[in-house]
Structure 1
Amino acid sequence: MSVIGVVASATGGVEQLREGLVRPLLDREHQVAITVTPTAAAWIAPAERWELERITGLPVRSQPRRPGEARPHPPIDLFVAAPASANTVAKLALGIGDNQALSVLSEGLGSTPMVVFPKVNAAHARHPAWAGHLDTLREAGVVLVEWELLEPRTEAKRELPWDRVLAAVDGLADQFFQGRLRDRGAGVADGGDG
């Protein structure tokens, strides 16, 4: 069983997190550890947070732990940041870890497989720095899930492309875990202790 670190930002669609992403990952027999930005934590109703904790068996994190406190989540095998706000994407690309969600993503960037779904609008994408942020993440090995961008305040409420996010997670997990199994097999075949 792999541990998927789900990181969510305060942007439209965070209210779909449980049914759109977390439950399908659990159905795929992954363990799911959820971390949210401080604003997303305020947006998620207490009953919804409780339900996320109940179905995952782990706390939903939004604050860092204190020195000496036990780690509340197991080591993460793969991250999926969805939905990720423009703020979260830009800060991740720049290496700014000013909250728990960004800290765990920044620590994993380049060393832990990662899928990011930027939930942004066309105005965000026109910012002169935006393309560079996406290029930085791609160069670090991040799989980006992109969708049709609409202008601000013209967007009708629409379902996030959870199926595409899940397909990206599945593909990256298959690639990563097959490689890990292959490496273990090679170590045993070579007389190593695997």
Structure 2
Amino acid sequence: MTSVLYLFGSAAPPVFDLPDVVRRARSDGWDVCVGLTPTAADWLRDRCTALEELTGHPVRSQYKRPGAADVWPKADAIVFAPLTMNSVNAWALGLTSSFVIGVVAEGIGKRIPTVGMPCVNAAYAQHPQFERSVETLRSAGVRMLYGDGGFVPNQPGEKRPYPWDRALDEARRLRS
């Protein structure tokens, strides 16, 4: 039986890697559903059709209407990466105005195994709310891949490969 992975992304440059990440997750046996924050959906507007063809599911960035059927199967795990400072803080504070934040906030209560991996530069990481939010999510059971063994902030403007393998490896571990 195939496990269902919700792969969520917010508006940080690694979100452009999602087609490749979907292929890798599918080759690992996941049935993948892609969800995006509103800004990430705008950034990937020209890639959503390709993502839908890769996954066989619609790309979602908005809540469904009350009474509408859900178009995705239930998640066995969630990976939220890249995760911006705004998304980390909104999630930790329970500010569910966007679809993906609502799903991951509810996922805590449903005990869906969830991995979050930030993508913030060192200047953002210095904001006192950011670290509090990371710790809040960790204490709620979210596997936050930040710091040693996860994403380490880069200097503003510095370009480095995003550690997608760590997020996919952790999702695989949570599935076992």
Task: Please report how far the alpha carbon of residue 45 of structure 1 lies from its aligned counterpart in structure 2 after TM superposition.
Answer: 3.6
Match of 2:174 among 169, 172, 175: 172
Q: Deviations over 1:61-114 (max 9, x none)?
A: 011111221111111111100111110011111111111111111110241110
Which residue does 2:12 correspond to in 1? 11
Give the equivalent residue in structure 2 for 1:151. Answer: 155
Q: Which runs of 5+ in 1 are unaligned?
A: 175-194
| TM-aligned CA deviation for residue 159 of structure 1 | 2.0
1:160 is aligned to 2:159: no
Structure 2 CA distance for aligned equivalents of residues 170 and 57 of structure 1: 21
Taking only aligned residues, the RMSD between alpha carbons, in angstroms, comes to 1.1
Counterparts of 1:148 and 1:35, CA distance in 2: 24
With the length of structure 2 as denominator, give the TM-score of the two structures: 0.92
Kindly state the Cα deviation for residue 163 of structure 1 after the two structures are TM-superposed.
1.1
Task: For residue 33 of structure 1, give the secondary structure of its aligned residue in structure 2.
Answer: strand
Q: Which amino acid aligns with 2:153?
A: L
* Structure 1 segment 76-155 matched on structure 2, within 5 A: 76-110=75-109, 111-146=111-146, 147-153=151-157, 155=158
TM-score (norm 1): 0.84
Matches of 1:67 and 1:134, distance apart in 2:
31
Quick one: distance in 2 between partners of 1:66 and 1:142?
A: 28
**What amino acid is aligned across from residue 156 of structure 2 in structure 1?**
P
Opposite residue 150 of structure 1, the aligned amino acid is: N
Larger radius of gyration between Structure 1 and Structure 2? 1
Flag as ranges the 4+ runs of structure 1 deviating above 3 A.
Answer: none
Residue of structure 2 equivalent to 1:63: 62
Deviations 1:109-168 (A, max 9, x none): 241110001011111111112221111111111111222212212x12x22101111111
Distance 2:165 2:51 in 1: 20
The offset of 1:22, in angstroms, is: 1.1
Identical-residue share of aligned pairs (%): 39
Q: Distance in 1 between matches of 2:137 and 2:32?
A: 23
CA distance in 2, matches of 1:63, 1:90: 19
Residue 17 of structure 1, CA deviation:
1.0
Which ranges in structure 2 are unaligned for 5 or more consecutive residues? none
CA distance in 1, matches of 2:28, 2:141: 23
